[in-house]
Protein backbone atom coordinates (compact mmCIF):
# COMPACT_ATOMS: atom_id res chain seq x y z
CA UNK A 1 0.00 0.00 0.00
CA UNK A 2 1.39 3.33 -1.03
CA UNK A 3 0.93 6.19 1.41
CA UNK A 4 0.51 9.82 0.44
CA UNK A 5 3.17 11.60 2.51
CA UNK A 6 3.26 15.05 0.94
CA UNK A 7 1.94 17.84 3.18
CA UNK A 8 -1.11 19.21 1.39
CA UNK A 9 -0.61 22.62 3.01
CA UNK A 10 3.08 23.39 2.39
CA UNK A 11 3.80 20.62 -0.16
CA UNK A 12 6.77 19.27 1.81
CA UNK A 13 7.60 15.59 1.23
CA UNK A 14 7.62 12.69 3.69
CA UNK A 15 5.47 14.25 6.39
CA UNK A 16 2.98 12.75 8.83
CA UNK A 17 0.09 13.85 11.02
CA UNK A 18 2.51 15.34 13.54
CA UNK A 19 3.82 17.66 10.88
CA UNK A 20 0.35 18.74 9.76
CA UNK A 21 -0.89 19.26 13.32
CA UNK A 22 2.14 20.88 14.98
CA UNK A 23 5.14 21.48 12.76
CA UNK A 24 3.90 22.78 9.41
CA UNK A 25 4.96 26.41 9.02
CA UNK A 26 1.41 27.42 8.03
CA UNK A 27 -0.21 25.58 10.94
CA UNK A 28 2.13 27.41 13.32
CA UNK A 29 0.36 30.62 12.25
CA UNK A 30 -2.97 29.06 13.28
CA UNK A 31 -1.54 28.24 16.71
CA UNK A 32 -0.53 31.89 17.05
CA UNK A 33 -3.86 33.25 15.80
CA UNK A 34 -5.77 31.01 18.21
CA UNK A 35 -3.49 32.15 21.04
CA UNK A 36 -2.65 28.51 21.83
CA UNK A 37 1.14 28.50 21.52
CA UNK A 38 1.44 27.57 25.21
CA UNK A 39 -0.64 24.45 24.49
CA UNK A 40 1.50 23.60 21.45
CA UNK A 41 4.64 23.79 23.60
CA UNK A 42 3.09 21.31 26.04
CA UNK A 43 2.06 19.00 23.18
CA UNK A 44 5.60 19.09 21.78
CA UNK A 45 6.78 17.45 25.02
CA UNK A 46 4.38 14.48 24.65
CA UNK A 47 5.87 11.26 23.35
CA UNK A 48 2.78 9.54 21.93
CA UNK A 49 -0.54 10.36 20.26
CA UNK A 50 -2.31 8.89 23.30
CA UNK A 51 -0.48 11.29 25.65
CA UNK A 52 -1.32 14.20 23.33
CA UNK A 53 -5.01 13.33 23.30
CA UNK A 54 -5.10 12.89 27.07
CA UNK A 55 -3.55 16.33 27.52
CA UNK A 56 -6.06 17.88 25.10
CA UNK A 57 -9.02 16.40 27.01
CA UNK A 58 -7.67 17.89 30.23
CA UNK A 59 -7.53 21.47 28.85
CA UNK A 60 -9.95 24.24 29.76
CA UNK A 61 -13.19 23.88 27.79
CA UNK A 62 -12.54 26.64 25.23
CA UNK A 63 -8.94 25.53 24.65
CA UNK A 64 -10.18 21.95 24.22
CA UNK A 65 -12.81 23.06 21.67
CA UNK A 66 -10.20 25.03 19.72
CA UNK A 67 -7.77 22.08 19.80
CA UNK A 68 -10.39 19.61 18.55
CA UNK A 69 -11.36 22.07 15.81
CA UNK A 70 -7.73 22.51 14.80
CA UNK A 71 -7.25 18.72 14.74
CA UNK A 72 -10.38 18.34 12.62
CA UNK A 73 -9.15 20.95 10.15
CA UNK A 74 -5.77 19.21 10.00
CA UNK A 75 -7.45 15.87 9.27
CA UNK A 76 -9.71 17.30 6.57
CA UNK A 77 -6.86 19.18 4.91
CA UNK A 78 -4.57 16.17 5.26
CA UNK A 79 -6.75 13.78 3.31
CA UNK A 80 -5.34 12.68 0.01
CA UNK A 81 -6.68 14.82 -2.81
CA UNK A 82 -9.00 13.06 -5.28
Helix (H, G, I), strand (E, B) or coil at 45: coil
CB of 16 to Zn ion, least distance (A): 10
15 Cβ neighbours under 8 A, 6+ residues apart? 5, 6, 7, 23, 24
Binding-residue total with Zn ion (CB under 5 A): 5
CB of 53 to Zn ion, least distance (A): 21
Using CB under 5 A as the binding rule, whether residue 67 contacts Zn ion is answered as no
Using CB under 5 A as the binding rule, whether residue 10 contacts Zn ion is answered as yes
Question: Between residue 16 and residue 35, which ones bind Zn ion under the rule CB under 5 A?
Answer: 24
Angle at 44 between CA 67 and CA 39, to 5 degrees: 40
Amino acid sequence: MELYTRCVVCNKLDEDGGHLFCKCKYVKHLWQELNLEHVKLQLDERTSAKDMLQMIWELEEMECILMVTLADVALVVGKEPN
